[in-house]
Amino acid sequence: MEKESKTFALARFLTIWVLPLLFGLALYTFIYAKGGSYLTNDPSACANCHVMQQYYDGWLKSSHHSIAVCNDCHAPKGFFRKYYTKASNGFWHSYAFTLDNFSDNLSIKPSNYKIAQEACMNCHLELTESITYFSSHPNSDCIHCHGAIGHPKK
């Protein structure tokens, strides 16, 4: 009987104090980091983080500025894939910034590289079909040669 009351007391403590505290901390972080802006397609949301400002500025000067936003190249097609990717990237970005474990010289992760490559292939389908059909490298990598298209260097 005593073990059951200790378990109940622990559950009540967690329910009354710990869970609301964690929820409040998560909500504060979401609001402070302007989390709602990341649910939109507005490219200026990407510049909320200071390390992204140069990429946003580069995009403003790019040839893709008038035809594509960040999500067009950096989020996969489909509602669930898009928001899963955004949530995953958001979590890991927040984790890195919170722990001050990031470099100002960002590098794309393989999964995000693949998403960007798919975006190139989808938007430029007519061109990429003929390239991959005639190419000796059927899995040609657009970003390898054209990596600065969306974010030109100064």
SS3 letters across 108-151: CCHHHHHHHHHHHHHHCHHHHHHHHHHCCCCCCCHHHHHCCCCC
Say yes or no: 5 and 69 in one domain. Answer: no
Q: Which long-range contacts (CB under 8 A, 24 or more apart) does 79-82 make?
A: none
Say yes or no: 100 and 26 in one domain. Answer: no
Q: How many CB atoms lie within 10 A of CB 118?
A: 14
pLDDT of 147 strictly over 70: yes
Of 45-54, 88-97, 112-121, 122-131, give the range with the top mean pLDDT: 112-121
The answer to whether position 115 is within a domain reads: yes
Say yes or no: 22 and 51 in one domain. Answer: no
Say yes or no: 62 and 134 in one domain. Answer: yes
CATH code: domain of residue 135:
1.10.3820.10
Say yes or no: 97 and 120 in one domain. Answer: yes
Number of domains forming the structure of the chain? 2
* pTM reported for the whole predicted model: 0.74
Q: What is the mean pLDDT of the chain?
A: 84
For residue 119, give the nearest of 59, 63, 78 by alpha carbon. 78
> Could you give the percent of the chain with pLDDT greater than 70?
88
Say yes or no: 118 and 65 in one domain. Answer: yes
**Mean pLDDT calculated for residue range 93-118:** 84
The residue segments making up the domain with residue 16 are: 1-32
46-93: pLDDT as tens digits = 888 777 888 899 999 988 999 999 999 999 999 999 999 998 988 888
Say yes or no: 79 and 7 in one domain. Answer: no
Query: How far lies 64's CA from each of 68, 100, 137, 138, 149, in Å?
Result: 6, 32, 26, 25, 7
